[in-house]
Amino acid sequence: MTDDLKRIVLEACVLIAFGALFGLTMNHQLVLDAFAGSLGPQRQVMKTDSAVQEHVTVALPMPVLLDEVQQLMTAGGLLIDARSPELFAAGHIKGAISLPFVGIDEVLADFIARTDQDQVVVTYCSGFGCPDSFDLGMRLIEEGFSDVRVFEGGYPEWRDAGLAVAGEDQ
């Protein structure tokens, strides 16, 4: 490697290190929260309220991967299927309960009444293209659930991994 090329690569490394360090400085709390496994990376979002625009801080459900879902279930976490009752009946993750995001207002009060809000809950739906698990997670946080996570791979990833499923089609 010529000296010129070495210098260029070294400068590129400095550039990457500087950018990464700056990013870490700006987002250290988020990264610390993520490594601590605690819910609550907070972000500022704009909420328009008629004439007044105010900043509010919103907690977001944390994404979890397949093996983490299994660990959370073993540790007593509650797995919630956000899909329609028909899809749930056809096939769902074994041990999950149905709480469809479509029509949530009709069933939410009953669900809240019989669920411990400090319990870890994991929502899922039909995989990465499906927003219902995230939207349900947001709604549960708004309703006071303290530790809400989203399994973005959802039912397809669980089923394709050969893990336990239940339902009419199984």
Q: How far apart are CA 8 and CA 102, in angstroms?
A: 55
Residue 64 or 82 having the CB closest to other proteins: 64
Residue 23 or 95 having the CB closest to other proteins: 23
Q: Does 8 bind other proteins (CB under 8 A)?
A: yes
Site for other proteins in 93-132 (CB under 8 A): 127-129
Closest CA to 145 of 73, 60, 55: 60
Residue 103 or 131 having the CB closest to other proteins: 131
- Region near other proteins per CB under 8 A, out of 19-27, 48-56, 79-87, 96-104: 19-27
Q: Does 65 bind other proteins (CB under 8 A)?
A: yes
Site for other proteins in 129-168 (CB under 8 A): 129, 152-153
Catalytic residues: 125
- Amino acid identity of residue 61, one-letter, is P
Provide the CB-side half-sphere exposure for 70 (13 A, CA).
10
The tokens for 55 are 């900043």
Residue 58 or 164 having the CB closest to other proteins: 58
Give the x/- contact pattern for other proteins in 25-64, rule: CB under 8 A. -xxx-xx-xxx-x---x-x----------------x-xxx
Footprint of other proteins (CB under 8 A) = 8-9, 11-12, 14-16, 18-20, 22-24, 26-28, 30-31, 33-35, 37, 41, 43, 60, 62-66, 68, 127-129, 152-153
